[in-house]
């Protein structure tokens, strides 16, 4: 049903400030700024997903949805969207598996220069997904993938892809049922680490990973899942850290990652919406 991670949508209060922050963090230009439905958004397209920054703007149902989210939760990840081969068929399959959703419908975005983009989306019922907004999205209607965001400086220092998105869950068995059995993601690893006090579930999604983290120190409950942070992949951790630090971000030193063969550093502050880890694989 799901073929890839389509995009991560972040709700922000100030779109211009968010664009400047993520432009500096990712080292890439947004390839689309525009809006419709009472909202404006900026789109950063990477090879394995996109980051979509959204803010309310004027009147419209979608803008009201984002405005409500910001009032109740503040800035942060609003939704995770998965690419499917056919939104209508996938929504019907999801519903047979117990994940109700909206009838797939067209979504339109109008660029500031007048160009338009169209795609088809179904929103799953948060009551069935552990409390999170999950979208099923058709590939672009044109049949061509969205163009990639150009690097600000060099490819070597820019973020290349998303490595993984973290979701915190109070009920790992529920997460296994939703993301594994119902959405059909490939569970690659289920491990508990007493030293870290966490159980982790790793679901492969295209070339990215959805990581579910559950505390071993608190009892399992029906509390809703919560979006955590984003881990961005780079080809050269040292070059990326130098560029990001020069842009004014508070970053840690580069260190050996928990996963063998990785180098990582963390972003302590600087961009709204989501904690960030930068990771170099096969270091």
User: pLDDT by residue (tens digit) across 240-249?
Assistant: 999 999 998 9
What integer pLDDT is reported at residue 272 of this predicted model? 58
State the CB neighbour count (10 A cutoff) for residue 78.
23
Q: How far is CA 123 from the centre of its chain?
A: 15
Would you call 188 exposed, middle or buried from its count of C-beta atoms within 10 A (0-12, 13-18, 19+)? exposed
Q: Return the ∠ at Cα 55 (arms to 179 and 153), rounded to 5°.
A: 85
What integer pLDDT is reported at residue 251 of this predicted model? 93
Q: E strands along 89-176, which residues?
A: 105-111, 116-123, 134-137, 159-168
What integer pLDDT is reported at residue 143 of this predicted model? 74
- The residues, any chain, with a CB within 8 Å of residue 249's CB and separated by 6 or more, are 24, 25, 267, 268, 269, 270, 271
What integer pLDDT is reported at residue 283 of this predicted model? 62
Across the 283 residues of the chain, what is the mean pLDDT of every consecutive 10-residue run?
96 95 95 95 97 96 95 95 95 97 93 93 97 94 86 91 97 98 97 92 97 95 95 95 92 92 88 80 78
Supply φ then ψ for residue 90, to 5 degrees: -70, -40
Q: Is 237 helix (H, G, I), strand (E, B) or coil?
A: helix
What integer pLDDT is reported at residue 31 of this predicted model? 95
Model confidence, pTM: 0.94
> 56, 55, 43: which is closest to 7 by C-alpha?
43
What percentage of the chain exceeds 90 in pLDDT? 85
Q: How far apart are CA 271 and CA 19, in angstroms?
A: 9
What integer pLDDT is reported at residue 270 of this predicted model? 65
Q: How far is CA 1 from the centre of its chain?
A: 19
């Amino acid at each position: 049903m799901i073929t890839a991670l389509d995009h991560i949508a972040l709700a922000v209060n100030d779109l211009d400030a968010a664009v400047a922050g993520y432009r500096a963090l990712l080292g890439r230009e947004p390839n689309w700024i525009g809006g419709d439905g009472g909202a404006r958004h900026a789109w950063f397209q990477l090879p394995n997903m996109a980051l979509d920054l959204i803010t309310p703007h004027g009147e419209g149902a979608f803008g009201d949805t984002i405005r409500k989210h910001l009032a109740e939760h503040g800035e942060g990840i609003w939704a995770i969207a998965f690419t499917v081969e056919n939104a209508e068929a996938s929504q019907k399959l999801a519903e047979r598996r117990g994940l109700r959703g909206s009838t797939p419908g067209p979504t339109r975005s109008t660029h500031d220069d007048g160009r338009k983009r169209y795609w088809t989306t179904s929103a799953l019922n948060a009551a069935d997904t552990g409390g999170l907004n999950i979208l099923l999205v058709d590939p672009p209607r044109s049949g061509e993938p969205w163009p990639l965001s150009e690097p600000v400086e060099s490819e070597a220092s820019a973020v290349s892809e998303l490595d993984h998105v973290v979701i915190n869950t109070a009920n790992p068995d529920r997460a296994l049922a939703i993301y594994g059995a119902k959405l059909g993601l490939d569970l690659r690893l289920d491990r508990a680490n007493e030293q870290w006090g966490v159980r982790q579930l790793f679901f492969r999604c295209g070339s990215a990973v959805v990581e579910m983290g559950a505390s071993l120190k608190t009892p399992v409950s029906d509390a809703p899942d919560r979006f955590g942070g984003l881990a961005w992949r780079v080809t050269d951790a040292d070059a990326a850290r130098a560029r990001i630090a020069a842009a004014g971000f508070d970053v840690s030193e580069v260190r050996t990652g928990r996963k063998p063969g990785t180098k990582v550093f963390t972003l302590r502050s600087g961009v709204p919406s989501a904690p960030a880890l930068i990771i170099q694989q096969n270091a």
